[in-house]
Structure 1
Amino acid sequence: MLLLGIGLVAVSPLLGAFALGDEQLLLVDISLSTMLACGMFLGAFTAASSLGDEIRRRTVMVLLSKPVTRTTVLLGKFAGIALALTMAQLSWTATLMLAIRHRTIHSHLVDDHAPVLLIGLVALLISLLQAAWAHRRGKSFPATLSRNCTLLLVSAALLAWTWAPDGSLRWPATSFNTDILWAMLLVHEGVLILAAVALAASTRLPTPATIALSLATLFCGVIVGSLMRGSPWARWVPDLQRLWISDGLIRGGDISVATVGWASIWAFLVMSAVLAVGVALFARRDVG
């Protein structure tokens, strides 16, 4: 799923070429949608395998036999899932930064000496080769690949944006639209909410049902935010439209720190509520 997300974000500039307006904004919109979808499936699969499978195989008893509470186990699982999703999100964000940098060169037909495509491909190739080598030595291929992509792709993106068109060095923040980073952060918070839903569901449901519930939560959250806001039952479904600000970027709006802050507080409260439900479900689950 990590490589799928990287690949989809990397090819998004090809779709951006069909934009009638700003190509970069369409590229960002497609990439954010990709990150949300891939993050949702990655979180659901990880949650179902990290806790749900352990409950069904009764291997979770190994953890519960130690002096830890079920609440600690569930929150620890969520922390691990959140870390994995954050590393994947950083890799996808770095890929998007490289794609924007590369697309800027070709769309504006500027004389740019930065080998953006080469930098990105080398970073990805080194990540794959090192992960394959580590796998031969008995280490986990997905974990190693995730770590490598996070470090190398982020470094490649920073290098590409530090490299000015004339070959000199510059501060990346002066040339990159930081509103895009805020939008990515809010999308990531939405992914974490869906991961919390998947983890809570995995305490009772099998893997297919957990994934289906995560997908239904995403669908209902978008519908509620778009069409059903204010209805009596809408309060029971997280309004994920609060975290989707891509439309504002396309219309040329600016993202304030206050907007991001309030949205992040709302996301934290929703995650806390969902995890509280998960703790209650797990506390009453027979795992013996």
Structure 2
Amino acid sequence: MLLLGIILVGISPLLSAFALGDEDRLLVDISLSTMLCCGLFLGSFTAASNLGDEIRRRTVMVLLTKPVSRTTVLLGKFTGIAFSLTIAQLSWMATLLLALRHRTIHAHYVEDQAPVLWLSIAAIAVALIHAAHAHRRGRSFPATLSRNCACTLVLAALIAWSWAPDGSFRLPWTVLDSNVIWAMVLVHEGVLILSAVALAASTRLPAPATIALSLATLLCGVIVGSLTRGTFWSRWIPDLQRLWISDGLIRGGEISLATVVWASLWALLILSAVLSLGAALFARRDVS
């Protein structure tokens, strides 16, 4: 799923090249959608195969025999899932920044750019080679590859954005669009909420139902934000439109710091509520 997300985000310049103007905005929209979908499935699969499988196989009893509460176990599982998702999202974010630096096919031939494609290929190649070498020494290949991609792709993105078209050096944050950065952060917060939903559901439901519930939460959250805001039903479903601001970016809108802060506080509140529900469900689950 990590490599799939990198590939899909990486080819977004090809897809956005078919737009009639505003290719970069469409590139961002396609990439953010890819990050959301890949993060959703990665988080759901991880949650379903983590705590849910341990409950069904009764292996969770090994943890519960120790002096730790079930809430601590649940929070520990979520912390691990959130860390894994953050590492994956860093790789996808860096790939999006590399794609923006490379720009679309049409724009690439207008202005000389840094050799972004070669930097990206080199970053992934180094990550794969090191992960394969670590696997031969007994380490986990997926875990090592995930960490390697995050490090090498972020480094490649920093190098690419430090390379001005005339070959001079510049500070990356002086030319990066802060709107894109904030949009990626908010998408990641949405993925964390959906992962928390999957983790809470995995305490009671099998893996297919857990994944289906996470997907339904995403769809309902988007519908609530678009159609039913302010109605009775909207009180019981998180309005994920608060974290999806890609539509505003396409229309040329700006993201203020206050908007990001309030959206992040809302995401933290929803995340706390979902994890509290998961802790309550897990506390009443018979695992013996």
2:91–2:153 Cα contact (<8 Å) kept: yes
Where does residue 194 of structure 1 map in the other structure?
194
SS of residue in 2 equivalent to 1:255: coil
- Where does 1:72-111 land on structure 2 (aligned, <5 Å)? 72-103=72-103, 107=107, 109-111=109-111
Question: Is contact 2:13–2:105 with CA below 8 Å preserved after alignment?
Answer: no
The alpha-carbon deviation at position 109 of structure 1 amounts to 3.1
- Cα–Cα, structure 1 residues 82 and 276, in superposed 2: closer, same or farther, change >3 Å? same
Q: Give me the whole-angstrom Cα distance separating, in 2, the residues matched to 1:182 and 1:274.
A: 23
> Which residues in structure 2 correspond to 1:1-288 (within 5 Å)?
1-103=1-103, 107=107, 109-112=109-112, 114-288=114-288
Aligned mates of 1:255, 1:204 — CA distance in 2: 39
Please state whether the residue corresponding to 1:43 is helix, strand or coil.
helix
Post-superposition offset of 1:110: 4.4
Check the 8 A contact 2:101/2:116 in 1, yes or no: yes
AA in 1 matched with 2:25: L
Displacement of 1:108 in angstroms is 5.3
Q: Equivalents in 2 of 1:185, 1:108: separation in Å?
A: 27
Q: Is the 8 A contact 2:52 2:202 kept in 1?
A: yes
Count, aligned residues: 288
| Residues 20-67 of structure 1: CA deviation (Å, up to 9, x unaligned) | 221000000000000000000000000011100011111111111111
2:253 is paired with a residue of what secondary structure?
coil
* d(CA) in 1 for partners of 2:22, 2:240: 25
**Structure 1 unmatched runs, 5+:** none
Distance across 2 between alignment mates of 1:161 and 1:104: 16
Q: Which amino acid aligns with 1:96?
A: L
| Contact persistence 1:51–1:199 (CA under 8 A) | yes
- Describe the shift of the 1:71–1:147 C-alpha distance in structure 2 as closer, same or farther (beyond 3 A): same
CA distance in 2, matches of 1:244, 1:175: 23
**CA deviation profile, 1:212-235 (whole Å, cap 9, x unmatched):** 000000010011111111110111
Cα gap change, 1:128/1:104 in structure 2, threshold over 3 Å: closer, same or farther?
A: same
Q: What TM-score do you get using the length of structure 2 for normalisation?
A: 0.98
Q: Is the 8 A contact 1:24 1:100 kept in 2?
A: yes
- CA deviation vs aligned residue, 1:236-277 (integer Å, no higher than 9, x gap): 000000101111111111100000000000000000000000
Shift of 1:106: 5.3
78-87 vs 97-106, which moves further: 97-106
Contact 1:105–1:112 at 8 Å: present in 2 too?
no
Deviation at 1:194, TM superposition (A): 0.1
Q: What is the alpha-carbon root mean square deviation over aligned residues?
A: 1.2
Return 5+ residue gaps in structure 2 as ranges: none
How much has 1:111 moved relative to structure 2?
A: 4.9
CA distance in 1, matches of 2:105, 2:174: 17
- In the aligned structure 1, how far is the partner of 2:228 from the partner of 2:47? 29
Return the letter of the residue paired with 1:208: P
Contact 2:123 2:153 in 1 (8 A): yes
Query: Aligned partners of 2:93, 2:194: CA distance in 1, in Å?
Result: 19
Q: Percent identity?
A: 75
Moved over 2 A (4+): 108-113
